[in-house]
Amino acid sequence: MLHSLPALLDELEHKLMAAQDPQPLLKSIRWNEVIDWPRTPEAAARIKRKLESIRFLINGLQAPVRATLMRLHQGATYIKQGGPSLPPTISFKHGGIA
């Protein structure tokens, strides 16, 4: 199934704003079948702004989780890029519990 890149980003943003799980959408994408890639600098700038908006949403959604983990781990200190140090069993880079 062909996917339009702007439509995919809109749907991803909608799912994040509605607090829905975006994984089924992301898993259904066949990147080699994605169409409507930007062809002009203006179109690329619009896609870049959309991606920055999605990144902002994701960071905002992670904030309560990070705050809770930091509260649970009273001796936590901040690490590189402003995040709290996490217990060794939890990692945001791998998407969950290690």
Three-class DSSP labels, the chain: CCEEHHHHHHHHHHHHHCCCCCHHHHHHCCHHHEECCCCCHHHHHHHHHHHHHHHHHHHHHHHHHHHHHHHHCCCCCECHHHCECCCCCEECCCCEEC
CB-based contacts of 75, cutoff 8 Å, min separation 6: none
Residue 25 phi, psi dihedral angles, 5° rounding: -65, -50
Per-residue model confidence as pLDDT tens digits over 14-58: 999 888 888 999 898 888 889 999 999 999 999 999 999 999 988
The structure's pTM equals 0.63
Per-residue model confidence as pLDDT tens digits over 55-83: 998 888 888 887 787 777 666 555 656 66
